[in-house]
C-alpha cells in the first residue's frame, strides 16, 4: 500500500477577504514620557565615560604618577600577583615572627607549637584588604599612601598556649577584648580562644597580618592593587584594566 502526502493548498481570495491586515506598531519615541518605574535609557557620551574612568582609583593613580618618575611599574595578571604576594608574605612571617614573639617574652615552647599550624593548615592563609591608611609615613613606598587601604597576607585562628605570657598582653585582652602589637609590616592580634564549649583558659587566639601593598576599590568593588616586588620594581594588578596614562 502506498502512502500519499497531501500538499496543503493556500486559501482562496474569498476566504482571505474576512482577514484584515494588522496595522504596524507605532515607533517608540525616545522623548515620549514613560510610565512611572520604567527605566529610562540614557546615552553615555565618550566624555562622560572618560570622566568616570578618571574618577576611578584616583588616590592610586596619584601614587603611581609619583612613583613612575623613579621606578618601574609592571601590570601583572591575577595568578602572578597572587603567587608573588603569598610568597612574599610567608617569607616575612618566617623571618620576623619568631623574633617578634621572643621580644614579647612569649615562651619558646609556645612558639614551637605555633609554627607547625601554619605549615599544616594553609587554608588559614589568605590575601585581602585591610585598614584605611591615615598616616603620611609609609614602610612600603618612598611617598605617602594616605587615603588608600592596606593589602595584607592574613593568617587566622592560630592557637598559642598562654603559659607565662607577658602580663601586659593578657591584661590588655581582659580590658579591651584583644591586644594588638605591630612592628614594621607584621601585626599580631591576640584574643581569647573560644571553643564550642566556651573560652579555653589556657589558650589564646593569634591572628597575623603582613602588610604587602596598597589597594583602592571603585564604586563596583573592583580592586586595583600596587605592591613592591623583589626586583625593586612595583607590580600593579586590577580587576578592571587600568590605563596608567589617565
Nearest CA to 208 out of 116, 67, 44, 97 is that of: 97
DSSP labels, 90-145:
HHHHHHHHHHHHHHTT--HHHHHHHHHHHHH-GGGEEEEEEEEP--S--SSSSS--
Using one digit for the tens of pLDDT, what is the confidence trace for 114-156? 888 888 877 789 999 999 999 898 889 999 999 999 999 999 9
Nearest CA to 114 out of 165, 159, 156 is that of: 159
- For strands 178-183 and 186-195, give the pairing: antiparallel
Q: Scanning the structure block, which residue is given the C-alpha cell 481570495?
A: 13
The alpha-carbon radius of gyration of the chain (Å, integer) is 31
CA angle 7, 12, 15 (to 5 degrees): 120
Q: pLDDT value at position 238?
A: 92
Asked if the model's pLDDT at residue 180 lies above 70, the reply is yes
Asked if the model's pLDDT at residue 44 lies above 90, the reply is no
Average pLDDT, the chain: 79
Q: Taking the model in full, what pTM does it have?
A: 0.74
- Rounded CA-CA distance 189/182 in Å is 9
More confident residue, 11 or 39: 39
Q: pLDDT value at position 97?
A: 94
CB count within 10 Å of CB 158 equals 20
Using one digit for the tens of pLDDT, what is the confidence trace for 199-224? 666 788 999 999 999 999 988 888 99
Q: Domain coordinates of the chain in residue numbers?
A: 79-222
Would you say 96 and 189 are in contact if contact means Cβ atoms under 8 Å apart? no
Would you say 186 and 210 are in contact if contact means Cβ atoms under 8 Å apart? yes
More confident residue, 174 or 18: 174
- Rounded mean pLDDT, 76-84: 95
- For strands 125-132 and 149-161, give the pairing: antiparallel
Angle between helices 108-120 and 78-103 (to 10 degrees): 170
Amino acid at each position: 500500500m502506498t502512502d500519499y502526502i497531501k500538499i496543503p493548498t493556500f486559501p482562496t481570495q474569498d476566504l482571505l477577504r474576512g482577514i484584515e491586515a494588522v496595522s504596524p506598531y507605532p515607533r517608540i519615541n525616545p522623548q515620549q514620557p514613560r510610565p512611572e518605574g520604567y527605566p529610562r535609557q540614557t546615552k553615555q557620551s565618550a566624555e562622560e565615560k572618560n570622566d568616570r574612568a578618571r574618577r576611578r582609583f584616583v588616590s592610586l593613580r596619584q601614587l603611581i604618577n609619583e612613583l613612575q618618575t623613579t621606578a618601574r611599574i609592571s601590570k601583572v595578571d591575577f595568578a602572578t600577583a597572587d603567587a608573588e604576594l603569598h610568597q612574599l608574605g610567608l617569607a616575612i612571617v618566617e623571618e620576623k615572627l619568631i623574633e617578634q614573639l621572643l621580644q614579647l617574652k612569649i615562651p619558646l615552647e609556645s612558639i614551637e607549637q605555633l609554627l607547625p599550624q601554619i605549615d599544616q593548615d594553609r587554608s588559614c592563609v589568605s590575601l585581602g584588604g585591610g585598614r584605611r591608611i591615615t598616616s603620611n609615613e609609609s614602610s612600603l613606598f618612598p611617598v605617602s599612601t594616605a587615603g588608600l587601604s592596606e593589602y595584607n597576607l592574613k593568617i587566622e585562628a592560630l592557637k598559642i598556649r598562654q603559659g607565662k605570657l607577658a602580663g601586659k598582653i593578657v591584661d590588655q585582652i581582659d580590658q579591651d577584648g584583644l591586644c594588638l602589637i605591630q612592628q614594621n609590616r607584621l601585626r599580631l592580634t591576640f584574643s581569647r580562644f573560644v571553643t564550642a564549649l566556651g573560652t579555653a583558659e589556657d589558650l589564646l587566639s593569634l591572628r597575623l597580618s603582613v602588610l604587602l601593598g596598597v589597594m583602592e576599590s571603585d564604586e563596583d568593588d573592583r580592586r586595583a592593587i600596587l605592591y613592591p616586588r623583589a626586583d625593586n620594581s612595583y607590580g600593579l594588578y586590577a580587576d578592571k584594566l587600568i590605563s596608567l596614562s589617565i
